[in-house]
């Protein structure tokens, strides 16, 4: 809808502005003010009325159409006020052609329509929001599946033809086509896009699998038990659809001001007509006074007060890594009571890293890490990548390894400098019948209490080192939580990970509320739970499982590196993948709303001043506001609003630093 309105306003603005040029050039008042003249020719006196009629019909009629619902709902707003002013100006100006009066409003009429079209084009461009979240969810499901027939043959069929009880083959790296149960095979399945679990989940016979998840290195045969609308992914899609539909239609501040101004202008016009009729009897002067009041009441400045701030707000947000897709949500961010962060990939890096290590006496830490990196050199497992990255960060040389072997479910083995070296978890130690030295046992117990995974380095059958692995917390997360607390905002964390893992991260960061082991539908419910406490809630996430919560929240914020569906479900996208931009978002929202209020005061202040003068309250002392002076004041008000909006560029969006934590990015000004 917004995209269609944006294109309509843009096209009509340019055409109407082009058609307005002759009206301005042949306006006697503008010629007198600016000291220029244009050639007259037979029929030139019809240029203003003819072109004004065309501009009204092409650029003004859409406002009349959009005013109809406001009047039907008995809630006059911006469209009603604009429609009233341009209609009165149009009718009066045409009447002045037939019944000549002292003035007409042709140039005021066309410029008024042009400015309103410009303001609403800017507004529609700012609020346009694509609704492709459901399409992105649907893309997770494969189009075809490999179904195993009764005679053991494999046939490729559309996923829509699968039925409950069918047996399907899921090859390594392929997507699971439907919900089901593993009938044969074992593999690790990446469920992060559905459940939020940061580690691949091991699957073996009788384990359940979810449609849309990604199979790992093994081959699986799955017995289908749910298809179509009954799958978990379809349930998430329904939640996204419901949440999108439940978003409140918040009436913007300018519309409310326009509604008040409509009644004020109408009342002022009635009082003006009665007063002047009593004072001088009913004549053309009375009509001119009434029309002047109604035309001056039209909100040139009010129509631009919000769109100009929104345009600068959007530019400033983009310069600081925030893509605003929903203006109402951006305005709501200033009043947030609680912000919920998804853990994996948002507060943490989303990949395991070596967070601590211990060695037995006589073994140096660098030596142990070098050996482990050598053994893991040919493995693509996430633990192997973490160990290699830790060695790279320390600048440790890695010796060559030979005879590499992956030991399913236990670890890896290789020959390094003639020694047989292993890396793996507790299952590896059981397999080797190795006894863990007391120093390493104490280290492993402490790591377990912190919800960290422990892998051991074994050389010639003897454990010589242990590495604690965990999803690494972003450095920025410390500063984000601290800064939000300074703003008086509660910080919560939502994750599908275990309670131990969640509690460890929350304690490290100082998070107020923890929701752990939460399924996708429960993430949505947790947002509702906080909202039912009377809190205005934002959700920050990056996965498909976050999509229902993102759309249900009052403000949905997606990490830019996340999945397309998370981005499409959000109101604001953090393009730079920097959670510190959440703090900048709140600060920018507060500053922008303050500018909107100031602009409303400027715009409404003009009307409060101009309407009584146009009505003639100072006529007894010889002061009477003419339509020309009223138009000049109208233009001045618009200029003041525009200048004040530009001052938003000076807002300070910096985030206070924390000692010992680096500052990866600073706030940037708008272009």
Q: Which residues are catalytic?
A: 342
Alpha carbons 294 and 292: distance in angstroms, whole number: 6
592, 550, 512: which is closest to 196 by C-alpha?
550
Q: Is the dihedral of CA 54, 60, 66, 67 positive or negative?
A: negative
The torsion angles phi and psi of 531, rounded to 5 degrees, stand at -65, -35
Number of residues that make up the chain: 671
Write a three-state SS string for 58-123. HHHHHHHHHHHHHHHCCCCCHHHHHHHHHHHHHHHHHHHHHCCCCCCCHHHHHHHHHHHHHHHHHH
State both tokens at 405.
């072997």
Residue whose entry in the numeric block shows the structure tokens 């109407």: 16
Q: CB 178: neighbour CB atoms within 10 A? A: 28
Closest CA to 18 of 117, 124, 122, 94: 117
In 3D, which of 638, 601, 611 has the Cα closest to residue 297?
Answer: 611
- Report the first-to-last Cα separation within the chain, whole angstroms: 29
- The bridge status of strand 537-541 relative to strand 555-559 is parallel
Asked if residues 5 and 124 have their Cβ atoms less than 8 Å apart, the reply is yes
Give the C-alpha separation, 499 to 550, whole Å: 22
At 465, is the secondary structure helix, strand, or coil? strand
Contacts of residue 531, Cβ cutoff 8 Å, sequence gap at least 6: 537, 554
Residue 177 in contact with residue 159, Cβ under 8 Å?
yes
Q: Which of 106, 103, 102 is nearest to 51 (CA)?
A: 106
Decide: residue 266, CB within 10 A, 0-12 exposed, 13-18 middle, 19+ buried: middle
Count CA within 13 A, CB hemisphere, residue 200. 19
* CA 636 to chain CA mean position, Å: 35
Cα–Cα distances in angstroms (integers) from residue 289 to residues 66, 111, 213, 273, in the given order:
28, 20, 71, 7
For β-strands 154-158 and 214-215, DSSP reports them as: unpaired
Place of tokens 């309103």: 116
């Amino acid at each position: 809808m917004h995209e269609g309105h944006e294109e309509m306003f843009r096209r009509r603005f340019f055409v109407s502005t082009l058609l307005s040029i002759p009206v301005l050039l042949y306006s006697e008042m503008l010629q007198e003010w600016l000291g220029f003249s244009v050639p007259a020719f037979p029929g030139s006196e019809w240029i203003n009325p003819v072109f004004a009629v065309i501009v009204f019909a092409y650029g003004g009629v859409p406002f009349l159409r959009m005013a109809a619902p406001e009047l039907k709902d008995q809630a006059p707003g911006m469209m009603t006020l604009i429609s009233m002013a341009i209609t009165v100006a149009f009718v009066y100006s045409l009447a002045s052609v037939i019944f000549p009066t002292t003035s007409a409003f042709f140039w005021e009429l066309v410029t008024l329509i042009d400015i309103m079209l410009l303001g609403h084009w800017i507004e529609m461009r700012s609020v346009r929001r694509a609704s492709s979240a459901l399409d992105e969810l649907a893309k997770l499901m494969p189009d075809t599946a490999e179904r195993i027939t009764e005679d053991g043959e494999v046939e490729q069929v559309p996923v829509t033809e699968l039925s409950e009880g069918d047996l399907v083959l899921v090859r390594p790296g392929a997507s699971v086509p439907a919900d089901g149960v593993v009938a044969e095979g074992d593999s690790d399945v990446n469920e992060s896009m559905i459940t939020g679990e940061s580690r691949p989940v091991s699957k073996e016979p009788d384990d359940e699998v979810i449609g849309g998840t990604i199979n790992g290195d093994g081959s699986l045969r799955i017995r289908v038990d749910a298809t179509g609308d009954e799958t978990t992914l379809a349930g998430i899609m329904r939640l996204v659809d419901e949440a999108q539909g439940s978003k409140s239609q918040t009436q913007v501040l300018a519309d409310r001001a326009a509604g008040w101004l409509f009644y004020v202008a109408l009342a002022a016009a009635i009082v003006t007509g009665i007063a002047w009729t009593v004072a001088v009897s009913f004549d053309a002067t009375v009509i001119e006074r009434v029309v002047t009041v109604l035309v001056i009441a039209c909100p040139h400045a009010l129509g631009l007060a919000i769109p100009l701030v929104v345009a600068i707000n959007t530019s400033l947000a983009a310069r600081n890594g925030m893509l605003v897709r929903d203006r109402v949500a951006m305005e709501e961010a200033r009043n947030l009571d609680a912000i919920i962060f998804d853990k994996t990939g948002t507060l943490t890096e989303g990949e395991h890293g070596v967070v601590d290590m211990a060695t037995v006496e006589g073994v140096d830490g660098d030596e142990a890490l070098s050996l482990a990196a050598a053994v893991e050199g040919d493995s693509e497992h996430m633990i192997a990548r973490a160990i290699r990255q830790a060695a790279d960060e320390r600048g440790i040389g890695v010796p060559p390894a030979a005879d590499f072997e992956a030991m399913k479910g236990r670890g890896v083995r290789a020959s390094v400098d003639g020694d047989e070296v292993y890396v793996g978890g507790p299952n590896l130690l059981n397999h080797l019948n190795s006894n863990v030295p007391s120093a390493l046992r104490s280290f492993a117990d402490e790591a377990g209490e912190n919800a960290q995974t422990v892998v051991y380095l074994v050389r010639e059958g003897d454990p010589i080192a242990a590495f604690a692995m965990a999803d690494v917390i972003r450095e920025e997360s410390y500063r984000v939580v601290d800064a939000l607390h300074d703003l008086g905002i509660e910080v919560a964390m939502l994750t599908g990970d275990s309670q131990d893992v969640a509690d460890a991260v929350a304690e490290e960061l100082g998070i107020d509320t923890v929701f752990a082991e939460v399924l996708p539908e429960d993430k949505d419910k947790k947002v509702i739970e906080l909202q039912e406490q009377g809190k205005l809630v934002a959700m920050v996430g990056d996965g498909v499982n976050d999509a229902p919560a993102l759309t249900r929240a009052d403000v949905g914020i997606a990490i830019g590196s996340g999945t397309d569906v998370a981005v499409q479900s959000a109101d604001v996208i953090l393009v730079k993948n920097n959670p510190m931009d959440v703090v900048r978002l709140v600060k920018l929202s507060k500053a922008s709303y303050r500018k909107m209020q100031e602009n409303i005061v400027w715009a409404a202040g003009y009307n409060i001043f101009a309407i009584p003068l146009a009505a003639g309250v100072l006529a007894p002392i010889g002061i009477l506001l003419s339509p020309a002076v009223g138009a000049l004041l109208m233009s001045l008000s618009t200029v003041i609003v525009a200048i004040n909006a530009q001052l938003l560029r000076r807002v300070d969006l910096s985030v206070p630093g924390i000692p010992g934590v680096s500052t990866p990015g600073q706030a940037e000004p708008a272009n």
